[in-house]
Structure 1
Amino acid sequence: MKINFISTEDLKSISGGWNGTNSKIFEQLSKVFNLNYIGPVNPKSIASEKLFSKIKRILGLRGNFHFLSDKRLFHIKDIVSEQLDPLADYNFFFGQMVWTKCYFNKPYGVYLDACFPTYLSIYSSPESFDIKDVERIKTLEKEFLLNATNLFFGSYWALHEAEKHYSCKFHNAEIVWVGGNIPIPQVDAYEGGKDFLFISLNFEKKGGYICVEAFQKIKSAYPESTLTIIGQKPPASVLGINGIVYAGLLKKTNLKDFEKFKELLGKAFFLIHPTIMDTMGAVLIESGYYGCPSIVPKSFGIPEFVLDQVTGIVVDTPFNAEDFSQPLLDIIKDKKRYFSLRSEARKYTTSKLTWEVIGQKITDSVKATNLVK
């Protein structure tokens, strides 16, 4: 069976997050199918439309979503059309928003982590955009998703969000979740210690300040505690706090960085992740592979990846630093419970949230579709 695999991402980019997910799904599908990779398909916004939106904003009006304008979407369709393998039996789209004009009279599947209205509410400001333009995009996306042969959602939360926003049921949907972009170690190598981790490319939006404040409360009770920050460099005021270490960006494509990243996961006591901007969070899964439990908010799809009081701790929203520090202070005193969390975190992530498991789900569904067709 031949498949056109269509993506905005570069296959060589495997550092993690969305691009890492892209490469892992491609890797799994390529084990079973003959794939024609089309990507990265990511043309610039049309200059005149971008300028028009900017002028509207300057005038105090709502801007247009020029990145998803009809002209750009049709341009994307033309780019994809030129690279399609006409002998392919199926088209697989990684993501959905930019492909909403890409109808090619073939069965198609879509992997997505959030629908457009959800994306807009988490990563942008809906009130900043023209209402008619937003409705145009929503109409296009709803039609594209309903017409898909298969929808592969990264979480139940994402599916429920899409059904809520679009007032429909997506009977073509399947929950496949997401995996970690890191090899699974053979054993949990934790040797003790109170070394906490915070990992993020956006220090503020992923709750960096709450994490630091929570850590300071723990540090006052347990002076030997440390907090290692990986990702975006925090402000100097944070770096000067006793017990906090900045490890750097640590790119997985750099061997030295990658080894350091794995080393830190292996020795970590807990991952602190008080995010206010997320959809899934692969880092929670990667930590779980190493047996490191996470403390997270009851937001987005996160409670599907960290099971409260089973593989980690889930904090109700809204939350503050105390909501994160107190459960950690409690777990430090309860070693039996802590090691149960470690064991279950590793068991859950390595049995349910691996790319091999996810790839099998997707390939089985695509195979079944081909048999039906």
Structure 2
Amino acid sequence: MLASRGDALTPYLFAALERRYPVVGRLDPELTPAQRYSVAATTFRPDRSAWAERFFKSGLAFRMRSRNAVRQLAAVREGYDAVVQVHALFDVPGTRSMLYVDCTHRQSAEQWPDWNPMTGPQLEQWYARERDGYLRAAHLFAFCEETRDSLVQHYGVPAERVTVTGAGANVERFPEIAPGPREPVILFIGNDWVRKGGRVLLQAFAKVRAAIPAAQLVLVGTDPPDAIDQPGVQVLGRVRDRAAIARLYGRAAVFAMPSYFDPFPLVLLEAMGFGVPVVASRSCGIPEIVVDGETGALVDAGDVDALARELVAVLADPARARAMGLAGRARVEERFSWDAVVQRMDPALQASWTA
């Protein structure tokens, strides 16, 4: 049995699991419109960002999603050995659960407090709810090493019950990589401008532009909160057309994401899959995606000079950039397809059938 409240990765992961194992059904415990209204009313804050975080991590929302999962499970007529659940924002009580976890709340609360809308008893209740779910799970699949360490050190999960599996690129098929050098375009795709280092990138780009006057910076995602009036910068906002996104990757000489906190950004896998070298920060799981000096370059979060230096180095050497892009494509195909992720889950899933 597969269960997810609706994450962009869910269709790709579930399809890979169904290619490998007999799956009797899927649960989607996401809130109904009426439930969403109730949660919105109880979590309202004038600041939209604060409201979103309270809504997302509401105890009421957790309980409602869990009840939805239980009701859906009751309608399943076939037997099943385990429930593979994406993230820990709901519970499926009374089952042998196996959780796929991007990051723990402890990680985000410590490294990016804006993701933590709770304090005092409410926060402790959330930690207790998280801990109960993790300890009850038959096994946990962590996106990255740091998440595994948090599960073990902060929540007391036995190390042997956690497997680091990574994640996959949410793309059905990557195109052939066109020969020849690309335009001096730096591409950024992200919906959390500040957390993903957008302001740092703008500062670094001013230095890049001084060294390479033809350089361009293309920003895709949520419109930045800052007014941008900087030569060479193009703000596209949200781009939902996947063909348009593919064309942007095809133009870009380098992908930049200097995040302050990013558990395991799948957009880096996507960029690498399109043959684009990546310059990113050493945040959380990013060093497990980008091989420094081979598929791109890593810098410390917030280091404007280092970011500018690495971007200039990639733009100034098209042959090296292409080699990095090809190495990144090979790494994604070998390690970060969803089938490869499921293969790393296999020992624990097989064990669940014989327990």
Counterpart pick for 1:8 among 5, 8, 21: 5
Gaps of 5+ in 2: 47-52
1:349 equivalenced with 2:346 (yes/no): no
Match of 1:103 in 2: 93
1:268-283 paired onto structure 2 within 5 Å = 268-283=252-267
The verdict on how the C-alpha distance between 1:175 and 1:221 changes in structure 2, with shifts beyond 3 A counting, is same
Report the aligned-residue RMSD: 2.9
Cα pair distance change 1:73/1:128, threshold 3 Å: closer
User: Could you tell me which amino acid in structure 2 is paired with residue 95 of structure 1?
Assistant: H
Aligned: 1:92 with 2:84: yes
CA offsets, 1:248-268, max 9 Å, x none? 4111xxxxx211111111221
1:147 aligns with 2:136: yes
**Cross-structure match for 1:331:** 314
Asked if structure 1 preserves the Cα contact closer than 8 Å seen for 2:186 and 2:216, the reply is: yes
Aligned counterpart for 2:220 among listed residues 217, 230, 233: 230
What SS is found at the alignment partner of 1:77?
helix
Partner of 1:331, secondary structure, is helix
Query: Counterpart in 2 of 1:202?
Result: 192
The counterpart of 2:278, out of the listed 290, 294, 317, is 294
- CA–CA distance in structure 1, aligned partners of residues 117 and 22 of structure 2: 43
Tell me the residue number matched to 1:26. 14
Q: Which amino acid aligns with 1:353?
A: F
**Structure 1 CA distance for aligned equivalents of residues 312 and 170 of structure 2:** 30
Is the 8 Å Cα contact of residues 68 and 98 (structure 1) preserved in structure 2?
no
* 2:25 partner SS: strand
Q: Which amino acid aligns with 1:316?
A: D
Compared CA separation, residues 333 and 167, structure 1 to 2 (3 A): same
Secondary structure of the 1:261 match is: helix
Structure 2 residue aligned with 1:219: 209
Q: 1:214 to 1:36 in 2, by over 3 A?
A: same
Counterpart CA distance in 1 for 2:205 and 2:270 is 21
CA change 1:120–1:190 in 2 (3 A) is: farther
Q: Kindly provide the amino acid, as one letter, of the partner of residue 25 in structure 2.
A: N
SS in 2 for 1:299: coil
TM-score (structure 1 length as normaliser): 0.82
For 2:293 and 2:114, the matched residues in 1 are separated by 34
> 1:314 corresponds to which residue?
298
Going from structure 1 to structure 2, the CA distance change for 1:46 and 1:170 (only over 3 Å counts) comes to farther
Task: Report the Cα offset of residue 74 of structure 1.
Answer: 4.1
**SS of alignment partner, residue 160 of structure 2:** coil
Of 328-337 and 271-280, deviating more is 328-337
Identity of aligned residues (%): 20
Distance in 2 (CA, whole Å) between partners of 1:49 and 1:197 is: 35
Q: Which amino acid is 2:349 matched to? A: V
Structure 1: unaligned runs, 5 residues or longer = 10-18, 58-63, 252-256
| TM-score normalised to structure 2 length | 0.85
Confirm or deny that 1:82 pairs with 2:79.
no
Number of equivalences = 342
Equivalent AA in structure 2 for residue 36 of structure 1: G
1:142-164 deviations in whole A, cap 9, x for unaligned? 23212212211111121112223
**Per-residue CA distance 1:276-317 (angstroms, 9 max, x = gap):** 242111110001011111111111111111111121111124
Q: 1:223 to 1:163 in 2, by over 3 A?
A: same
Partner of 1:259: 243
Residue 130 to residue 77, structure 1, CA distance change in 2 (3 Å): same
